Amino acid sequence: MKERTRTYSLAMTVNRPVARWGRLQVEGLEAVPEQGPLLILGNHDSHWDPVMVGIAAFKRRQIRALAKSELWDVRGLAPILDGMGQIPIQRGKGDKDALAKAIETLRAGACIGVFPEGTRSKGKVLRARSGVGRLALEVPEAHVTLVAIEGTSDLTGFPRRPRLRIRFFDPAGGQPRPDEDPGALSARLLSEIRELVSPSISYRKR
């Protein structure tokens, strides 16, 4: 699986000044394998989350995110998303085609990024979607890395300068086990992330 497409590299470069302004602090990069199937799961509190995680992990991997399909309807955005290797998914509809594409891409050795909550928290506690667990269990050779994202919702608070923190880590409860239920697995992994960064703390209403 080809990593770091030209479009992806350009997108990260263009947004790097935002990360610098946000005083981005990155921890735990050793939990991001440089090769092989990798599933990165994180909390979702801001539109900036995928970009900041992408910048944080850039030296090690290109993240091919499952992104809401509506983004492909935005004028001029579809070629960029395709060039970045992003995978469209219809939220809340159990998109089997998107899951199949993610499984195929992951098996090919890529790094897939998913937000277990499926949408931005907006300060609320959301349940984990079972599709995340199914994805992990369908590709047992994939390593699962969790990421706690803090401060991204404060990027909309200009001129007040935010402080961004991205922490990668392996699940304390261990990698997915074949006998785990997909829904329970998703909930377990999301719970570990939210223990580090709760929705009420990480989200700022604007």
- pLDDT, position 120: 86
Residue 1 maps to a domain: no
Residues 6+ apart with CB under 8 A from 30: 168
Task: Give domain status of residue 160, yes or no.
Answer: yes
Q: Report how far residue 177's alpha carbon sits from residue 160's, in angstroms, rounded to the nearest whole number.
A: 44
Q: Looking at the domain assignment, is residue 136 inside a domain?
A: yes
Domain count within the chain = 1
Q: pTM score, two decimals?
A: 0.90
Domain extent for 24: 6-202
Phi, psi of 97 (to 5 degrees): -65, -40
> Does residue 48 lie in a domain region?
yes
**What is the spatial distance between Cα 58 and Cα 19, in angstroms, rounded to a whole number?**
13
pLDDT digit of tens for each residue in the chain (206 aa)?
456 889 999 999 999 999 999 999 999 999 999 999 999 999 999 999 999 999 999 999 999 988 878 888 888 888 888 888 888 877 655 568 888 888 999 999 999 999 999 888 888 888 999 989 999 999 999 999 999 999 998 887 778 889 999 999 999 999 999 999 999 999 999 999 999 998 855 555 44
What ranges make up the beta strands (E) of the chain? 25-27, 38-42, 63-68, 87-89, 111-114, 143-150, 165-169
Amino acid at 1: M
Instruction: From residue 25, give the alpha-carbon distance in Å to each of 55, 142, 148, 205.
Output: 11, 26, 12, 23
